[in-house]
A and B are shown apart, each in its own frame.
Chain A
Amino acid sequence: GAVVSQHPSWVICKSGTSVKIECRSLDFQATTMFWYRQFPKQSLMLMATSNEGSKATYEQGVEKDKFLINHASLTLSTLTVTSAHPEDSSFYICSAPPSLGANTEAFFGQGTRLTVV
């Protein structure tokens, strides 16, 4: 199946700093990628839809100025958590569908565990 790679797999940062997470589609082009956040023992909550060459679409309640998304190429989307605080500590996961055809599954990255201290 298609491969989506996420980097880093884990990161620890100090409060107030920014952290960038990368999501790459390794063997296919993805005009759309999705970013999810998962708190411990909870489900994956969609944060935003990343669109290549245009602005991301954020879900209700997600601060677009805090979670900056850039989708500059067909194989890379980045999520930057700006001015991180301990409450931003979570598991962040990206996904990408290999095509925009009907009934298309999305492949998930391995996730990034962010800890803000």
Chain B
Amino acid sequence: GENVEQHPSTLSVQEGDSAVIKCTYSDSASNYFPWYKQELGKGPQLIIDIRSNVGEKKDQRIAVTLNKTAKHFSLHITETQPEDSAVYFCAASPGGGFKTIFGAGTRLFVKA
């Protein structure tokens, strides 16, 4: 089955700096890679996703890259703000309504 590894587990940055979170996956059948932000006591919220036919996607301060050959994908947050502080999860799925497997999560702290 799919296995998703995520690094780092904790990331602390100064406000305005960039944050990068990296993930790898094992199942070559996975073709959908969402990223979720989870705040304390709440369910995960989708912030950006990328599909296997795309190498990079950007949405304002957030960007995601995918290297399907190497089975790597990354989240980049630029100009970080204190409200970006949360736990971020990468995930992989074969799509089509099939189960999503999550990485272990990265706790991001943005210091004002």
Contacts and interface: CB of A to CB of B under 8 A. Distances in A.
Interface of A: 1, 6, 31-32, 34, 36, 41-46, 49, 93, 95, 97, 99-111, 113
Contacts, number: 66
Contacts of B105: 42-43
Interface stretch (B14-22, B62-70, B78-86, B89-97): B89-97
B43 A101 contact: no
Given A42-B105, A44-B102, A46-B101, A102 B43 contact: no
Interface of B: 31-32, 34, 36, 41-46, 49, 51-52, 89, 93, 95-97, 99-105, 107
Which 7 A-B residue pairings sit nearest by Cβ, starting from the closest? Answer: A100-B97, A97-B97, A103-B95, A111-B43, A108-B43, A110-B43, A103-B32
B32 to A, nearest CB: 5
Contacts of B104: 42-43
B44 A93 contact: yes
A102 B31 CA distance: 9
A30 to B, nearest CB: 9
B45 A108 contact: yes
Contacts of A36: 102
A101 B36 CA distance: 21
A87 B108 CA distance: 28
B47 to A, nearest CB: 11
Given A32-B97, A34-B99, A34-B100, A44 B89 contact: yes
A44 B34 CA distance: 14
A18 to B, nearest CB: 23
Contacts of B51: 103
A109 B44 CA distance: 8
Contacts of B45: 108
Contacts of B31: 102-103
Nearest to B6: A43
21 contacts: A1-B46, A32-B97, A34-B99, A34-B100, A36-B102, A42-B105, A43-B103, A43-B104, A43-B105, A45-B102, A46-B100, A49-B99, A93-B43, A95-B100, A97-B97, A99-B97, A103-B96, A104-B96, A106-B93, A108-B36, A110-B43
